């Protein structure tokens, strides 16, 4: 059980952290009213925590969770609504995603509720995913006139295959935890209230293993799919930025914010 509930880094507000005696750091996204939507400050706090965790010898494994209700319903749409393609290309969020992508210690995700858009992309940066039975996964960016921009088109395709990835990305529909387990997106399904505990127990097992071997095992497994990934990520990023110039993006975001159905015109 976690003992230290004080922030791992002083001043962090958008995440909660706890460090257990078995060398597991739990990071909990903490914007419940916005379904843990990933605002820039939240991403900054997660990445700062991971930077510190990298050199902390008391810490061998991380659990990343959104708590018992929702993992994260995506990037914060209100924050990104007015961004231009140039804003997207210059966005500091890319730096934070890079830190998350390069985190070298094993990271277990504990997922409940909505795990959508940037939330699903964040989950896919974890090395092992445990999900509550009622969790829902999806990349619904298409409903906003855009596409995933933090690796979703690449990692989801690698993890569940082209046809299922296309289905989620092109329709914006969600996938249940059971389907996600069958498809290979997650390792295990459990009762929602057990998710964090299960992830922490798994992390504690990993934390007892030799840490250098664990780090190199993670790096080696990621190499299995790294070859084409970099090219795909770079393409996705440019396509994502380009879509911020379309009227369909403006329509999709306005429709979301005003809780109405969008009408897309291909402009
Ligand atoms: N960003 C900001 N606020 C959000 C988000 C989000 N991604 N998701 C939910 N919220 C807020 C809602 O605005 C609402 O706030 P309020 O109570 O103030 O009205 C509150 O959370 C609860 O949401 P709902 O009332 O909609 O709750 P429901 O239970 O009816 O629906 C859903 C929950 C299905 C999760 C629904 O909120 C939804 O569809 N959310 C958006 C999901 C989505 O599209 N995610 C992808 C986002 S895009 C992305 O991640 C990458 C691109 C970033 C650029 C975006 C700008 C162009």
Q: Give the ligand 1 atom nearest the CA of 148.
A: 51
pLDDT of residue 51: 97
Q: Which of 66, 109, 117, 118 is catalytic?
A: 118
pLDDT of residue 2: 47
Binding site membership of 255 for ligand 1 (Cβ less than 6 Å): no
Q: What digits encode the pLDDT tens for the residues 174-232?
A: 999 999 999 999 999 999 999 999 999 999 999 999 999 999 999 999 999 887 899 99
% of the chain exceeding 90 in pLDDT: 93
Whole-number Å distance between alpha carbons of 137 and 91: 25
How far is the CA of 219 from the CAs of 57, 101, 212, in angstroms? 18, 11, 11
Q: What number of residues does the chain have?
A: 267
7-193+207-257 has CATH 3.50.50.60 classification: no
Distance 121 CA to ligand 1 centre (A): 15
Is 128 strand, coil or helix? strand
With CA atoms as reference, report the closest residue to 147 among 235, 55, 26, 84: 235
Q: Which of 37, 74, 141, 145 is catalytic?
A: 141
Whole-number Å distance between alpha carbons of 119 and 214: 25
pLDDT of residue 80: 86
Full-model pTM: 0.95
| Known active-site residue 141 | yes
Q: What digits encode the pLDDT tens for the residues 100-122?
A: 999 999 999 999 999 999 999 99
Whole-number Å distance between alpha carbons of 159 and 26: 24
For tokens 């596409």, the residue is 147
Whole-number Å distance between alpha carbons of 5 and 3: 6
| Known active-site residue 187 | no
């Amino acid at each position: 059980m976690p003992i230290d509930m004080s922030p791992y880094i002083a001043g962090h507000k958008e995440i909660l952290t706890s460090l257990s005696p078995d060398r597991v750091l739990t990071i909990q996204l903490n914007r419940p009213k916005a379904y843990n939507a990933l605002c820039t400050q939240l991403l900054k706090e997660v990445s700062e925590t991971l930077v510190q965790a990298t050199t902390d010898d008391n810490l061998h494994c991380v659990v990343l969770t959104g708590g018992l209700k929702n993992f994260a319903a995506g990037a914060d749409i209100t924050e990104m609504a007015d961004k231009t393609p140039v804003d997207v290309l210059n966005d500091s969020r890319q730096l934070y995603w890079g830190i998350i992508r390069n985190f070298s210690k094993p990271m277990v995700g504990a997922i409940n509720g909505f795990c959508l858009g940037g939330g699903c992309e964040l989950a896919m940066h974890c090395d092992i995913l445990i999900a509550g039975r009622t969790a829902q996964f999806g990349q619904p960016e298409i409903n906003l006139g855009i596409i995933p921009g933090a690796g979703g088109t690449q990692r989801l395709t690698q993890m569940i295959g082209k046809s299922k990835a296309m289905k989620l990305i092109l329709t914006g529909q969600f996938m249940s935890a059971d389907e996600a387990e069958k498809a290979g997106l997650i390792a295990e399904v459990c009762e929602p209230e057990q998710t964090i505990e299960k992830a922490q127990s798994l992390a504690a097992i990993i934390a007892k293993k030799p840490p250098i071997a664990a780090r190199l095992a993670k790096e080696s497994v990621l190499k299995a799919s790294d070859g084409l990934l970099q090219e795909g990520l770079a393409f996705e990023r440019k396509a994502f930025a380009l879509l911020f110039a379309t009227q369909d993006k403006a329509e999709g975001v306005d429709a979301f914010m005003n809780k109405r159905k969008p009408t897309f015109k291909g402009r």
